[in-house]
Amino acid sequence: MAVTRPDEPPSLIASVRAVGREPEAVHDGQRWGFGAFLLVEAVFVLSAVFITAVARTSGTDIGSSVTFVLVGSMVPTVLAAAVAVTITYLRGNGPFQDLRLAWDWADVKVGLKLGALGLVLTYVAALVWSKVVGDKNATSAIGELVDGAGLPVAAAVLMFVYVCFVGPVCEELIYRGLLWGAIERQRWSRWAAFVLTTLIFAAGHLEPLRTSLLIVIALPIGIARLITRRLTASVVAHVINNFLPGLTLLLVAVGVMPA
């Protein structure tokens, strides 16, 4: 029988099993909750609507304009994340404490493991999902925009950086940072926070056809946050999970791969 050394970190399965039902301690000075998350979501939706309205008013086809593709894809999420961080400064202790942004190399390792697991899980789930919805519908909102715009190399690289790095960081700040913290403030369990953030993360992308797939994608990312109690692991897992889709978008945009 294998013996685990006392200084050896527990396995992922053991870490998940060790998660209790007790609520997480809320930091003193945190004076924000669900209202903050709703405000951030409103900023996301309204900014996206505003950008679309500007495009239509100017007579621009948003799907064929490189500028509007980049702005429409990036600005709402980045702006919403910026508002989330600002709220923690104005109504709390700042993002590093309130959103559990403490750095730990052990969290990076957990994120890498769960990110790799997420790639496999996402690949299998995407195959099943594409069979269910059909190949013509098996795409994302960003993927459809990139296909229609014919991005130049510089714009394609910028989109790759956003999909792989900037987007995951922003989404983690919003969902497993701000929303998770709002749930903790209600003194609900970590499991409740995991389930709710997973479901709301999937629904928050506003892509009904992909919601079931997004739930599967979100599971390993949420588990990273669940077992480490910090945001670093889920950010790393999210980045790893988005790398192949981001690379595919880049290769399609520059014409190396067929759309």
Alpha-carbon span 218 to 214, nearest angstrom = 6
Please report, for residues 98, 109, 225, the alpha-carbon distance to residue 104 in angstroms, rounded to integers and kept in the order given. Answer: 16, 9, 13
The encoded tokens of residue 214 equal 């997004």
The full set of domain ranges for the chain reads 97-253
Phi, psi of 171 (to 5 degrees): -65, -35
Q: Are 227 and 16 in contact (CB under 8 A)?
A: yes
Phi, psi of 189 (to 5 degrees): -75, 165
pTM of the model: 0.90
Alpha-carbon span 98 to 96, nearest angstrom = 6
Long-range (24+ apart) CB contacts under 8 A made by 123-128 are 125/213, 125/216, 125/217, 126/213
Going residue by residue through the chain, which has 259 residues, state the pLDDT in tens, using 9 for 90 and above.
Answer: 444 555 556 777 888 878 877 777 777 889 999 999 999 999 999 999 999 999 989 888 777 788 888 999 999 999 999 999 999 999 999 999 999 998 899 999 999 999 999 999 988 998 898 888 876 666 665 665 555 556 788 888 999 999 999 999 999 999 999 999 999 999 999 999 999 999 999 999 988 889 999 999 999 999 999 999 999 999 999 999 999 888 888 887 777 776 6
CA atoms within 13 A on the CB side of 21: 0
The encoded tokens of residue 98 equal 């309130």
The residues, ordered by sequence, that sit 6+ positions from 103 with a Cβ below 8 Å of its Cβ are 232
